[in-house]
Amino acid sequence: MPEPNDVLVLARLQFAFTISAHIIFPAISIGLASYLAVLEGLWLRTGKSVYRELYFFWSKIFAVGFGMGVVSGVVMAYEFGANWSGFSRVAGSVNGPLLTYEVLTAFFLEAGFLGIMLFGWKRVGARLHFLATFLVALGTLFSAFWILASNSWMQTPQGFEIVDGRVVPLDWLKIVFNPSFPFRLVHMSLAAFIVVATIVAGCAAWHLLNGRRGEGIKKSFSMAVAMILVTVPIQIIAGDQHGLNTREHQPAKIAAIEGLWETERGGTSLNLIGWPDMKEERTKYALSVPHLGSLILTHSWNGEVRGLKEFAPADRPDSTIVFWSFRIMVGMGLLMLLLGLVGLILRLRNRLYDTRWFHRFALAMGPSGLIALLAGWITTEAGRQPWVVYGVLRTADAASPLSSQQVGTSLLIFVIVYFLVFGTGIYYMLKLMAKGPDVGDPAADLQGAAGEAIASFERRPMARATDPIDE
Amino acid sequence: MTIDLPTIWAGIISLGVFLYLLLDGFDLGIGLLFPFFNHAGERELMLNTVAPVWDGNETWLVLGGACLYGVFPLAYSTLLPAVYLPVIAMLCGLIFRGVAFEIRAKARRTQNLWDLAFILGSGTAAFCQGVILGTLLQGIKIVDGRFAGDAFGWLSPFSVFCGLGLLVTYATLGCGWLVMKTEGDLQRRLRMLLKPLSSALLAIIGVVSLWTVLGQPAIAQRWFGGHNFVYFAPVPLLVLACITGIFRSADTGHDARAFILMEAVIFLGYSGLLISIFPNIVPPSLDIWAASAPRSSQIFVLVGAVIILPIIISYTALSYWVFRGKVRHGDEGYH
């Protein structure tokens, strides 16, 4: 009976595609909102106009990203019912309310403070405006809070009972604050900050390479490289703690990430690279280091890590995928660490703005935050398989009773629509970035941000940027 | 009397869907009227009348969907697979039109392309919503809490007719809105559309009502069984009165009359729908109690909804108040 499997694969592909396209925008919104709050705070404190200039510049990009995030998020909410009706039927009683809270939070935020932040520059005082920016930044983190509570509960479910095959919530505190939630929340929030730090650094590096030496460009480059230097090491520690938590609650995921098949006695080695083969049950071409696996995963010399063979073949995640997605994430992280450290050395030697190879490096690293973010999400989501709610509901039982033609058609439609629509959105964001903070008339920009007197009731973030898209 | 959570939630979600039809209906309608107006600056003006509010209008669709998921997961998980392709097409239509709305203002060379995306997106979204409503009215086959119909069960002459019907409904509503918000030559030409639109609307409502009553004995029983019709008779009579009023407002009457009467038609039509299906949420077999999430889920969401919904509603009302009155050329304020 091949058809149900086709449907499952297509539905998973569709979810992976639409959520990957979506997560890019919220990550940028979360990171940029906090960056904007910092910029405005610095402007209020120091009175230096460069901060205000940067604020106006990045608020336009924030606005477009926010708009794109809202639009792409609508699809996600309906996909749970359309493609994953089994999941909605069994676990909708937990995930539904958490998503509803996210929607309520997001709309509350949009209704209240986004308008003031983007269009109310002249209407309200500087302090009140800063408060609006701060609350928007806080609100984006609250949105993340609910989404990650929902996702973490699917990874490490608790606080419920099963009645007639359906999840009945018993304790909402336990549901929200499930074991993997704090780790995931910290890891994702930091990731959003790093996404924005690498983008800001890349943008500034591009302008530096093009011979622009304005104060705004230098300042943003300096801030972003410093941010990378500070956040990446913290992220590495947070990721390590997250890994320990995963080993405790989802050992099969860890085994798959490491391409570890046997439970090794007296110290686990670590496969640096290799090709896990699910059929042959071994990792080919493995280059492994003795004891390193124990050191990283258990923080001890001889710690034991359960191999994939301890789990029934039907309960194993696809090691080939998560082995590599994890290594892409870690590789990006290490490159970012290098970027931060080299940046520090150049700064100490007063060469931060004059080292062209470093600017090329930073430019190339512009998308690294997003790549790491996507690779990390692929690792945690594909690593949860074959479960949609870990240990409770299998992904195969979560799909809707649809035909592969239906799901295939909708996948095709989504791919076309997303490339057209979000391709345009990303193109526009890049175009805005290419303009740079030091160009244009700051007075006109202030006008744009002030809008009409009534425009703080404006709820359309994308109206904030007025630069032409096709000229 | 004990408080019945499913009934409260059915009320809240019905209100949300109603607000959605009421609010997003007219701005979708503007997309449908777009092809007929292309004199210099007219399209900008038409868009400016909804620019401050369209985004918030769509909020209700997301909120309705999210609440349905959280509170009536069984309705959510049976309705959406049953109308799978129309839902996907509707979402894509809404994406296209939302982004086209914003990008066209920033586009120079490619503006016609974005106009086309706006028109097609609005049309697709409106048509698919009609198809979904039609499918719901016809009933969805559910076995063991799962959708058990086939892939194209939603595709029937009736549902397609409902799709066309909603296109006309939204176009009339959009026309009424624009008559209220514009003046001069544009308004004169809009008024001219009111007669053909309201005539078509009356015919469509008549056909849909008859078709439903003849095709769905359960709904016929609801309307005509016992003394029911005495109570429900005002609904069709008021619809008739409102549409007559819209027809006449093409020549005379206050600028806001057509719009207000049209909103009343939406309210009456929506009431008719609720009368026909309540207490089912997915006819013919799933009622609001069977579709409910566990009590703890419904209470958990209710806390948030009770706090935040009134804020969103007041804020919406306030922004409509702030942006009241005519929109003129040269009011660049909010675009």
Encode pLDDT of B199-256 as tens digits.
999 999 999 988 988 888 888 888 888 788 888 888 888 988 998 888 888 887 788 8
> Rounded to whole angstroms, how far apart are CA atoms B141 and B284?
8
What confidence score (pLDDT) does residue A453 get?
45
Distance CA(A257)–CA(A383), nearest Å, equals 8
* Low-confidence winner among A102-116, A341-355, B83-97 (lowest mean pLDDT): A102-116
B322 to chain A: closest CA residue: A454
Domain-embedded: residue A8: yes
Domain count, chain A: 1
Does any domain span residue A358?
Answer: yes
Res. A456: pLDDT tops 70: no
pLDDT of amino acid A108: 75
How big is chain B by its Cα radius of gyration, in Å?
20
Query: Quick count: other Cβ atoms within 10 Å of Cβ A425?
Result: 25
Cβ-count burial of A120 within 10 angstroms (0-12 exposed, 13-18 middle, 19+ buried)?
buried
Instruction: Tell which B residues from 257 to 286 touch A, by Cβ distance under 8 Å.
Output: none
Average pLDDT over residues A126-143: 90
Torsion of CA A323, A328, A329, A335, to 10 degrees: 140
CB A94 within 8 A of CB B297: yes
**pLDDT tens digit string along B31-88?**
999 999 987 788 888 888 887 777 778 878 888 888 999 999 999 989 999 999 999 9
Average pLDDT over residues A270-283: 90
pLDDT surpasses 80 at A202: yes
Contacts of residues B219-227 at CB distance under 8 Å and 24 or more positions apart, as own/partner, are B219/B137, B219/B276, B219/B277, B222/B275, B222/B276, B223/B275, B223/B276
Contact A296, A240 (CB under 8 A): yes
What does the pLDDT look like over A12-62, one tens digit per residue? 999 999 999 999 999 999 999 999 999 999 999 999 889 999 999 999 899
What Cα–Cα distance (Å) separates residue A1 from each residue in A4, A6, A314, A407?
A: 7, 10, 17, 17
Instruction: Find residues 287-326 of chain B whose CB sits inside 8 Å of chain A.
Output: 293-294, 296-297, 300-301, 304-305, 308-309, 311-312, 315-316, 318-319, 322-323
Nearest CB to A92: which of B53, B54, B69?
B69
Q: Which residues of B touch A428 (CB under 8 A)?
A: 103, 106
Tokens of B148: 């058990």
Question: What integer pLDDT is reported at residue B283 of this predicted model?
Answer: 85
pLDDT band for B333, please (50, 70, 90 cuts). Answer: very low
Closest residue in A to B61 (Cα–Cα): A74
Chain A with chain B: Cβ pairs closer than 8 A: 225
Best of B13, B95, B150 to mutate (most A CBs within 10 Å, chain A): B95
Residues of B whose CB is below 8 A from A410: 84-85, 88
User: In terms of C-beta density within 10 A (0-12 exposed, 13-18 middle, 19 or more buried), how is residue B260 classed?
Assistant: middle
Of B103, B308, B315, the CB nearest to A104: B308
Radius of gyration of chain A (CA): 23
Class of domain B8-322: mainly alpha
**Mean predicted confidence (pLDDT) in B148-173:** 91
Nearest chain B residue to A452 by CA: give it: B333
Helix (H, G, I), strand (E, B) or coil at A285: strand
Give the global pTM.
0.90
Q: What is the mean pLDDT of chain B?
A: 87
Question: Over 90: is that where the pLDDT of A194 sits?
Answer: yes
Helices then strands, counting H and E runs in chain A, come out as 16, 6
| Chain segment A327-338, per-residue pLDDT in tens | 999 999 999 999
pLDDT score of B148: 84
| Cβ-based neighbours of A24, under 8 Å, separated by 6 or more | A370, A373, A374
What average pLDDT does this structure show over A319-330?
95
ipTM of the complex: 0.87
On chain A, the residues whose CB falls within 8 A of the CB of B334 are 451-452, 454-455, 458, 463
* Predicted local distance difference test score (pLDDT) of residue A387: 95
Q: Where are the beta strands (DSSP E) in B91-180?
A: 142-143, 146-147
| Band of residue B184 on the pLDDT scale cut at 50, 70, 90 | confident
Shortest CB distance from B109 goes to which of A97, A103, A470? A470
pLDDT, position A13: 93
Q: Which residues of B, range 98-117, sit inside 8 Å of A by Cβ?
A: 98-99, 102-103, 105-110
Q: Is residue A420 part of a domain?
A: yes
**What is the least distance, in Å, from the CA of A435 to any CA of chain B?**
15
Q: Do A405 and B151 touch (CB under 8 A)?
A: yes
Please check whether residue A225 lies inside any domain of the structure: yes
Could you list the residue range(s) of the whole structural domain that residue A397 is in?
Answer: 3-247+322-463
Domain residue spans in chain B?
8-322
Cα separation, B246 vs A266, whole angstroms: 85
Distance CA A65, CA A435 (A): 17
pLDDT tens-digit readout, A143-160: 999 999 999 999 999 999
Please give the average per-residue pLDDT across A220-230, as a whole number. Answer: 96
Of A93, A112, A465, nearest to B73 by CB-CB distance is A93
Q: Tell me which chain A residue has its CA closest to the CA of residue B74.
A: A89
pLDDT tens by residue, A373-417: 999 999 999 999 999 999 999 999 999 888 888 899 999 999 999
DSSP letter at A310 equals G
Asked if residue A283 belongs to a domain, the reply is no
From B56's Cα to the closest Cα of chain A, the distance in A is 7
Please enumerate in sequence order all residues whose Cβ is within 8 A of that of A335, keeping only pairs 6 or more positions apart, or say none.
A365, A368
Q: A169, B81: Cβ pair inside 8 Å? A: no
